[in-house]
Structures are given as C-alpha cells and as structure tokens.
Amino acid sequence: MLKKTIQDYNLIAEDYARTRAFVSEDIRSLGEHTESGDKVLDLGCANGRLFEVLGNKNVDFLGVDNSPKLIEVAQKRYPKAGFQTADALNLPFPDDHFDKVYSISVIHHIPSKELQLQFMKEARRVLKPQGLLIMRVWDFWRRKAGFELFLKYALLKLAGRSKLDFKDVFLPWNDSSRKAIIQRYFHCFTKKELEGLAKEAGFKIIKIWRAGKDPRTNIYLIAQK
C-alpha cells in the first residue's frame, strides 16, 4: 500500500500541485506556532505550499516527501526552500534536530496502526526536547462524501469483499475530465484514535480539535515532545 501511494502521487503530481496552488486559512493559522529561527521539518510536504506560510519568518525550512515527482514540483515552485525525497518511517535526520515538525494531511495515507505509530515515533525522534508536532488530518466522519465512502467499504468488509482494514477506504482522484485515474488510499481517523496514537508515541497533547465545514472538515493536533 505504501508503494501504491508513492506511485499514485508520482502519477498525479502535476495535477495535484495545480489543484493545491492555494494556501488555505487553516494552514496559515498553523504557521502561528513557528517562531523566527526555528528549524522546521515539513513532513510529507507535497508541492511545498507550507513554505508560503513560513518562508518569511526567517526559519530553517526543509520539506520532505516520499514522492520524487512532488519533490520536483516543490523545488521548481520554491527554489529558495530546501526539499528532498525521504521516507517518513525512516527519516535521514539525527535525534533532537528540529524545533517544529509539520504534517499536513499525511498520516491518513499510512496503512495499519503499526506503521502509523512508527510515523509518529519518527516525528518525535527528530524533534528537539519540548519541540512541537503540528498536524492536520482529514475528518472523514464529518464530511458527507467521506462518511458515505466509509460506509461503502465497511459493508464490503463485512461481506468479505474487501481486504482493507476497517476504516480504510479508496478515494478516486479525478482528472480535468472528471475521469477517475487512480484510487488513493486513506484511513478514516477519529479524533480519539489520533490522540491515542500520539500519546502512545510519547507525545504530550497540547491541543486537539475538529474544525471546518463539509467538505473541508479536519482534525488538528498540537503535541509536544
């Protein structure tokens, strides 16, 4: 499933970047947790748009993603920022290296609690003591289309017609002709589930909340090492 996700985002990288050219207000508000001089990791940076929020704050910014094509897009779009291809489950950085780690709409692409926990632990490992993890995750339960998708796959699972784990779904990515060209993997996190995962990884929860309106409802987490 991890390999499929990389392949999928390599395939849609240009289209994804085009449709994510804007920076939403909720992402801008998350930038308030970063201060001048911070060393920041954008974990799962995609097209690098977080740099638009943090680039004028005099931070040491690095974006990583496991999709080489998305990294190419990010580098072209923000040549003054640092980007590299990296595996979020095995980050090529020393312990206690970053002041802040951002993860915007990433962990729901990681299958199984075991790997989700590994993702969290890696984020914590590379954070400095007292450093912050700032995270956004899609809230499928408050998105009408997302909840309907969950019900579809839950019924398939109960009928023995799906090999996905419970709360896992495939969401189609449509091109400009509205034709589905890939099926993206997602895990439908609950607020309680995300909070429990962060605690199990060793984080102290500073704040966790749900916000937004359908179809952009999300779960947000601020956690400290």
pLDDT at 20: 85
Element (H, E) at 11: helix 2-19
- The secondary structure of 177-216, three-state, reads CCCEEEEEEEECCCHHHHHHHHHHCCCEEEEEEEECCCCC
Please, are residues 157 and 171 in contact by the beta-carbon 8 Å criterion? no
pLDDT at 176: 62
pLDDT at 119: 98
Phi, psi of 183 (to 5 degrees): -115, 110
Cα 98 from Cα 94, distance rounded (Å): 9
> Which CATH code is given to the segment(s) 2-143+186-224?
3.40.50.150
Classify 110 as helix, strand or coil: coil
Residue 139 is encoded by which pair of tokens? 């809230």
Residue 91 is encoded by which pair of tokens? 């980050």
Phi-psi region of 27 (alpha: psi -120 to 50; beta: other; left: phi over 0): alpha
pLDDT of the chain, 225 residues: tens digit per residue: 899 999 999 988 888 888 888 899 999 999 999 999 999 999 999 999 999 999 889 999 999 999 999 999 999 999 999 999 999 999 999 999 999 999 999 999 999 999 999 999 999 999 999 999 999 999 999 998 889 998 999 898 888 888 888 999 999 888 665 566 889 999 999 999 999 999 999 999 999 999 998 888 999 999 999
pLDDT at 19: 84
pLDDT at 146: 87
Residue 127 is encoded by which pair of tokens? 């954070």
pLDDT at 203: 98
- The full set of domain ranges for the chain reads 2-143+186-224
Please, are residues 26 and 4 in contact by the beta-carbon 8 Å criterion? no
